[in-house]
Amino acid sequence: MVKNMKNEKTNENMSKQDEIAAIGIGAMIVFIALILVAAVASAVIIQTGEKLQQNAQDAGEGTKDAMATKVSIVNAIRGAGNVVTLTLELAPGSDDVTDTEVQWIAVCSAANPDQGDMGALANLDGAGSGFARNEIYEIDLTFANCASLDTTLYIQAGSGGMTYEVLNLASAAQGDLVI
């Protein structure tokens, strides 16, 4: 009889150990599942962050291209007849552009505005063609319709930014600065 009670006590201890082991294994499975869920969630968050950063960088590049690549007017001098001589340079941070990509239009109260490209551009340093950074250029623009009127001159550099300047041509004599 004593022997039987001892066996029952051993079986009872074994059953308690089995329950404790089962609880430990369950907790370990839940812990591993939480780690896997956290890993997947962090991967999604990191991927979303990278995509947002890439979109922001693309938008910034587009804005830089649209705003930075533009031509600055250094001065404008009234020439003989209907001619205005412009001295130009690229704005800081601009990308190089070809001279035919740069368009101009002179808007005044005349019915038809004067317009054209910068194909006859002269590099004052004597090197290269087109617009390059840190170089100064000169061009003679002929105004057929706006030569004797105050005029707004717009210069568009390819797909970049637009520059405008008001030219006081109405009362300017040859050799006068008109901006």
Domain boundaries, the chain: 1-68, 69-167
- The Cα–Cα gap between 94 and 28 comes to 60
Model confidence over 42-95: pLDDT tens digits? 999 999 999 999 999 999 887 776 667 888 899 999 998 889 999 999 888 788
**Residue-wise pLDDT tens digits, 59-72:** 988 777 666 788 88
Looking at the predicted structure, is the pLDDT value of residue 34 above 80?
yes
Q: Spell out the residues 6+ positions from residue 103 whose beta carbon is closer than 8 angstroms to its own.
A: 115, 116, 117, 118, 155, 156
For residue 10, the model assigns a pLDDT of: 59
pLDDT over 70 (residue 134)? yes
Name the more confident of 148 and 178.
178
pTM score: 0.64
Q: What is the pLDDT of residue 126?
A: 67
The yes or no reply on domain 69-167 and CATH 2.60.40.10 is yes
pLDDT of residue 150: 87
Q: How crowded is residue 103: how many other Cβ atoms within 10 Å of its Cβ?
A: 15
